[in-house]
A and B are shown apart, each in its own frame.
Chain A
């Protein structure tokens, strides 16, 4: 078992340009089933053995695609998300960064009345390690199969976390990048629920950031979890009122500070580390303490 991606995942790539093609090749080499690309107007081509279609609907009808991985440029990405949902794809995973917030307001309103779960946007995607099922842009070499789930707003901090875990012999079930934008499809709280419900996951790393209140909402859920959570909040040293790269990473008000988020997570029973270099070793200690290794 795992989260979102598994051996039955059939990946369709929307926006099958340079990045989409490159990541398709990496996923195929890793062992993931990538069934087709979608680029409107390019239907009928075959690129690196991957057939290209005009619409997501065709990908569902012809190849039973059940994961839509989206690389479509920001001005058109909300349209791509809604197209995936309209075609009935269970999971849409959007890598695209820089989608206008009000476009996401519309897409999210559409998703709320559909069966599709969106992960991202502005995220590294999802990988399930034992199943070798990858939909995203993460480097595969750092992963090793195991029992820790990883959730992060930041892509590069997923890699950093997984690398630290792997180096000390702790494997992963899945990693889920929820995305760095203000409006995202799957919240940290919802991602925690997925790992709590996954029988193969024993513990979870949650990497939050300054800005918004998503970590506090996640902390509310951690109170009810039976699995231990180790957490790091990036941006403790960020000045207020400045947007730190991610559109969502801006401190506006006290709830958005790292200190407020760390406190909420500690109060909920999570183990919070101060330095990003302590994530792996702290998870090791927590697993040993709870007899989970």
Chain B
């Protein structure tokens, strides 16, 4: 789950990480009041789950409370489009009003999981305020890492090593090392996936400040973070994906094509998309139905697919292991009979209980397009989509 910048900063502040003074506003009047209260020049920042907000017009400077109100008027209610959002953009219902910061230096600091090492890693760079992927590619010598060992935790010397490597020496050495330790603590105690401060600013008067912050958490650990999960903002997610989540389908991703896919297993679901593309088609979604231990779950998933106006044909591709093909077949028949799946539908079943599954399809008398192997399923789906659109 992703947090908004203001939520991430509140979290970091709880761990003793210095952040700019700021207030959240949901109306232009609140923005005016916030700027008045801060009593200084401010920056008005759209709160959205995306990078590149400045370029998209989501960040504005304001010298007076009146200017802050104007800026908020322009930003609130907009659909913010950035290189990460797609053409529809993201709705903005909240702005963060923050004091303007006197910036002497910008650095980069983050904690993430290093899959190969199997441990969290703290990443620091003197090249702050930039896309860290680009820095890593063009000047890898500017990226410095320290792994966090689970048995002893992040050690002060590791913080000092990163501080020295990024020029945070002298009076900044100890505060920088402490800030890193606190960021690791925030990451570990909240089951972080990524905790990123970019830029980490050194102010004109020599203070460290988290000028921007991103924090996302491990969804698998939601069960032990009831309070944190209340911060989820579904307005920042695809409506169809939210609907799928609410129906208990966790692994649905909306895509641009016109062939709806229902598949079991993430790997097979991705491979199904690849196979459609290989045969000249375009998938409308990724959907991993998982173990699918009830026909209801299958019907709910098919309803999501069937009601997508972009979908002109559907491919059900199941290779049952834990998932049972007879349950999937039941779900397909119910969805068809209830009119939830009006599009031409290709069904390919293999694996656990496949004879029962195919029998259910046969006895339904429904006009389903049957496919035997993977390639045939993809080809028939592409053909069906072409005929239908």
Contact = CB atoms under 8 A, between A and B. Distances in A.
Interface in B104-140: 113, 115-116, 118-120, 133, 136-137
A160 B270 contact: no
Given A217-B116, A242-B253, A253-B133, A237 B274 contact: yes
A245 B266 contact: yes
B271 A157 contact: yes
B266 A249 contact: yes
A interface, over-half SS: loop
B191 A102 contact: yes
Contacts of B87: none
Given A109-B151, A238-B270, A241-B84, A139 B278 contact: no
A163 B220 CA distance: 32
Interface in A225-263: 232, 234-239, 241-249, 253-254
Contacts of B309: none
B193 to A, nearest CB: 7
A245 B118 contact: no
Contacts of B218: 100-102, 247
B253 A108 contact: no
A54 B173 CA distance: 52
B274 A236 contact: yes
B11 interface: no
Contacts of B268: 154, 156-157, 160, 234
A74 interface: yes
A123 to B, nearest CB: 11
A237 B375 CA distance: 16
Contact of B221 (A100, A156, A277): A100
B326 interface: no
Given A100-B220, A159-B351, A235 B270 contact: yes
B273 interface: yes
A232 B274 CA distance: 11
A234 B191 contact: no
Nearest to A106: B150
A246 B269 CA distance: 10
A290 B268 CA distance: 29
Interface stretch (B175-183, B316-324, B333-341, B358-366): B316-324
Nearest to B118: A108
Residue of A75, A102, A103, A109 with highest tally of chain B CB at under 10 A? A102
A94 interface: no
Interface in B242-282: 251, 253, 255, 263-279
Contacts of A236: 274, 277
Interface in B224-252: 224, 251
Contact of A101 (B113, B263, B351): B113
A234 B274 CA distance: 7
Given A182-B113, A213-B116, A156 B267 contact: yes
Contact of A277 (B149, B321, B378): B378
A97 B191 CA distance: 17
Given A234-B270, A276-B271, A156 B115 contact: no
A149 interface: no
B363 to A, nearest CB: 22
A59 interface: no
Interface stretch (A44-52, A193-201, A204-212): A204-212
B271 A160 contact: yes
Interface string B157-193: 0000000000000000000000000000000100101
A75 B286 contact: no
A139 B265 contact: no
Interface string A1-45: 000000000000000000100000000000000000000000000
Given A75-B224, A105-B118, A244 B269 contact: yes
Contact of A183 (B115, B267, B278): B115
B15 interface: no
Interface string A167-211: 100000000000010110001000000000000000000010110
Contact of A159 (B136, B251, B350): B350
Nearest to A163: B350
A156 B321 contact: yes
A92 interface: no
B283 interface: yes
A245 B136 CA distance: 27
A224 to B, nearest CB: 18
Nearest to A125: B321
Interface string B351-387: 1100000000000000000000111001000000000
A120 B136 CA distance: 30
A96 B67 CA distance: 54
Contacts of A155: 265, 267, 321
Interface in A99-123: 99-106, 108-109
Contacts of B319: 139, 156, 159-160, 163
A137 B283 contact: no
Given A102-B218, A234-B270, A183 B113 contact: yes
24 contacts: A19-B322, A100-B221, A105-B113, A106-B150, A108-B118, A108-B119, A137-B322, A138-B321, A152-B267, A164-B374, A182-B113, A187-B116, A214-B116, A235-B273, A237-B273, A238-B286, A239-B255, A242-B253, A244-B270, A247-B220, A248-B115, A253-B133, A274-B274, A277-B374
Given A245-B251, A276-B275, 7 more contacts: A102-B218, A102-B221, A106-B150, A156-B265, A156-B321, A159-B320, A163-B350
4 pairs of A and B residues whose beta carbons are closest in the complex = A154-B267, A245-B266, A156-B265, A277-B375
Interface of B: 84, 113, 115-116, 118-120, 133, 136-137, 149-151, 188, 191, 193, 218, 220-221, 223-224, 251, 253, 255, 263-279, 283, 286, 288, 290, 319-322, 350-352, 373-375, 378
Interface of A: 19, 74-75, 97-106, 108-109, 124, 137-139, 142, 152-157, 159-160, 163-164, 167, 180, 182-183, 187, 207, 209-210, 212-214, 217, 232, 234-239, 241-249, 253-254, 274-277
